[in-house]
């Protein structure tokens, strides 16, 4: 195998492991949702309040994630990585113009 194939295989394996990790994390979060909801209902919140908070927090987290991603991409677009940075971290190639 040539180096490009090895690099592709490693990347493919890492992406697969990340996918499995996120699937497990998602299912665990979904599974524990009723436990957290029961505590909030006992405190006096309604189902609508709980859902509103869940969706509101999820929206805020996703907006922050999207904003940080946009800022990082814009900063790399305005100031691409140098040859020394590329030698140290080859994954920065995707930010080259």
For the chain, which residues make up each domain, given as ranges? 1-44, 46-97
Better-predicted residue by pLDDT, 53 or 3: 53
**Tell me: the pLDDT tens digits for 19-77?**
999 999 999 988 888 888 999 999 999 999 999 999 999 999 999 988 888 877 776 66
Give the C-alpha distances (Å, rounded to integers) separating 79 from 2, 7, 20, 22, 23: 32, 26, 34, 32, 35
Confidence check: pLDDT of 79 > 80 = no
Provide the CB-side half-sphere exposure for 19 (13 A, CA): 6
Q: What is the pLDDT, as a whole number, of residue 33?
A: 86
Q: What is the pLDDT, as a whole number, of residue 76?
A: 64
* Non-local CB neighbours of 45 within 8 Å, separated by 6+ positions: 53
* Non-local CB neighbours of 95 within 8 Å, separated by 6+ positions: 73, 76, 77, 80, 81
Tell me the pTM: 0.54
Name the helix (H) or strand (E) containing 83.
helix 83-88
Better-predicted residue by pLDDT, 94 or 8: 8
């Amino acid at each position: 195998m040539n180096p490009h194939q090895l690099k592709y295989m490693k990347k493919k394996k890492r992406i697969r492991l990340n996918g499995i990790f996120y699937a497990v994390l998602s299912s665990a979060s979904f599974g524990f949702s009723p436990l957290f909801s029961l505590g909030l209902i006992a405190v006096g919140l309604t189902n609508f309040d709980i859902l509103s908070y869940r969706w509101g927090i999820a929206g805020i987290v996703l907006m922050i994630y999207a904003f940080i991603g946009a800022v990082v991409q814009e900063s790399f677009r305005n100031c691409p990585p140098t040859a020394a940075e590329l030698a140290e971290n080859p994954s920065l190639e995707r930010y080259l113009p």
